[in-house]
Structure 1
Amino acid sequence: MTLTLFGPAWTGTLVVLLLVGVGTHHLLRGRDLAGRRRGLAVLAVVDLLSSVSFHLAYLSDPDVHFPLWQNLPLHLCTIVSFLVLPAVLKDARPLQVICFFPGALAGFLTWFSAQPMYFEQRLLDPKLGFFVAHGLNFVIPALMATLGIYRPTARDAVRSVFYVVGLGLAVLPVTLLLRAVADPGANYMYVFGGEGAGILDLFYSFVPVPLLYLFPLLAVITPVLLGQWGAYRAYRWVSGRLDRRTWLRTREVVAGVAEVAAGLAGGR
C-alpha cells in the first residue's frame, strides 16, 4: 500500500499520529512536570530520528532527485524537528513559540501540500519518516500546551512571525553561498520559490519575486497563528468546565457516601 493524499494509507497514518497525541495526553496528564517533560522527550526523539531517517533514505536513493546541498537541515520543518526536544525539556520560550506556532502550522500544512515526490511511498519505507516527522511537529507542540509545559499567548503568536523572519534572514546568507559555490538549486526556507509545495507556489504565482513573495504569506498566516492561540484558549475553557463538573460530581458522590455511612453508623 502506498501513501497518497487523502488515500487510506495517508488517512490511517494521520489518524494513528492523532491517536498517539490523545493517548500521550491521557497517559501523562496525571504526572508531575518532570514526568510530562520526559514523556514528551520520547516523542521528540522519535520526531528527530524520523527526520534523519527520511533524509538518509532519500539521499541514498539514486532514483530520486534529492541533492545533499538542497537538503541540509535548514528548512523550517527540519529545524523544528531539532528544536522540539530542547523546547520540551527546558523553559526556552522562544523555542516553544517557534515550535507551537509556525512549526506546528508548517508541519500540519505539509501533510496537505508537500511536494509530489514525498507521496506514493510504501508503508514502512523509511521515507515515510517525512510524514511522521511533520506530523509530530504539530502533535508535540499541541501536547506541550495541553500538558501545561507551555502556555501560549496572543503576543507569542505575533512574536513568532518575527522569529520566522529572523530564521529566514539567518539562513539566507548560507543559501546564497551554496547557490554560488555548490548548488544553484539551494533554496532554504523557500526564499526562491515553492518548489512544488502547493501553498507556496500559489503565493509565488501572485508575487513572482524571490523572498518578497513570502511577505504576503506572513500577513495571511498571522490570523491563523492567532487562531491557534484561540483554539488553545477554547481548549482551556472547555477542559476547565469539564474539570469543574467532574469535581462537583465527585463532591456529590463523596457527600452521598458520607451520608449513607453516617446513617449506617447511627443505626447501630
Structure 2
Amino acid sequence: MTTSGRLDGTVALVTGASSGIGAATARALAAEGALVVAAARRKDRLDEVVEDIVDAGGRATVCELDVTDQTAAAAAVDGVVAEHGRLDVVVNNAGMMLNGPVEDAPLDEWERMVDINVKGLLYVAHAALPHLLVAAEAEPRRVADMVNISSVAGRVPRLGAGVYNLTKHGVGAFSESLRQEVTERHVRVSLVEPGAVATELLDHQRPDVREAYQNRFRGKDLLQATDVADAIAYLVTRPRHVAINEVLVRPTQQQA
C-alpha cells in the first residue's frame, strides 16, 4: 500500500492546463506517476502539453473545457471518472486577472473574473468532491487532494485590484470552510497563493494596467510556473497523515 510519495495509480484533473502554472502542474503531477487530465479551453495548446507529457514517459489526456459552464464542468468531471475509474487530485487553477481602478471599470471585466475565478472553481469543486471522497477511502493512497490556486492578492489587498482581490479572498474563505468539512474524511484541501509569476496572466490586461504592473516588477526575478508547480506537487505527495493547507510563495524580491 502506498500512502505517500509518488502518485502511481491515481488520476489528477488540472484546470487551466493549457499554459503557465496549469501546464507546469500537469507535467509535474505526471512526472510523479499520476494519469493527468489536462483541461482548458484551448485544445491546440492542451495537445502540446499532453504530447510533452507522453514524450517524457508520462500519461495524460486532453479535456476541452470552459469551467464557467456549469453543465460542461460537471460533465467533464464525471467523464474523467467514467473513463479512468477514479479521481484523486483536483487542481483548480483556471483563473483571470483583470486589474484597474474601480471607478469607471468595465463591468464585463468584473463579471469575467467572478465567472472564472469563483464560479468556475465552485463548479469543478462541487462536481469533484463526491469522487474525491470515494478516492480517499480507496487504495493506493487512501487520501485525496483538492488544490485551489489563489494569489498573494487573496491575502493582501492592493490598490487597483479590488475585484481580483475579492475573488481570491473568496477562494481562500471557501477553501478553509471546505477543509474543515472534509478533512476528517482524508480529503485534503490546500490553498496556493503565488506572488508575481512570469506567465500569460498579464496578456489580458488593458495596456495601461499591464504597463503599471510591469513597472512594479521591472528588474526583479519573478517566479516561474515550474516553481509553483513544484509547490503543488509537494502538497499532494505528503504522507496521508500530513495536510499542508496553505502555501504563500513569492519571488524573493517581492515585498507585498
Q: TM-score, normalised by structure 1?
A: 0.29
More helix by share: 1
Q: TM-score, normalised by structure 2?
A: 0.30
